[in-house]
Amino acid sequence: MNRDDRSIEQEIIGHLEEAEALIWGLLDENIDAADFQRLERLLTNKEVRDRYLQCVELHSDLRELFGETADDVPSKPIPKSPVLGFLGDSLPPYPETTPAPPITE
């Protein structure tokens, strides 16, 4: 592996680490508007999108194991995800809901 290949690999790893921190901030509902925009930009990269899906799956599994049960949470509509919205018609449609309020700092 030459020097350029190592620097590219290190750059990719750096983007994945930054993206993962932002993803967990989003999932924990602890992200500001600037970080949210940064995450949206990072999600144009396939590796970052793959990491996003891995984190969401892990988050879901952990909530299922240790979090609230369906009986504990009042029924509410599923909001449309603003994060992967740029993928357009490639994702199944969400039920009609009111838009989520903007993220404030």
pLDDT, one tens digit per residue, over 48-99 is 999 999 999 999 998 888 866 555 655 555 555 555 555 554 545 544 555 5
At residue 104, the pLDDT reads 65
Q: 97 in a domain, yes or no?
A: no
Q: Is the dihedral of CA 80, 45, 61, 22 positive or negative?
A: negative
Which residue reads 């793959």 in tokens? 50
Instruction: Give the count of domains, the chain.
Output: 1
At residue 19, the pLDDT reads 92
Q: 51 in a domain, yes or no?
A: yes
Structural domain boundaries, residue 61: 3-90
Q: How far is CA 39 from the centre of its chain?
A: 8
At residue 49, the pLDDT reads 92
Q: What Rg value do the Cα atoms of the chain yield, rounded?
A: 16
Model pTM? 0.57
Q: 58 in a domain, yes or no?
A: yes
At residue 34, the pLDDT reads 93
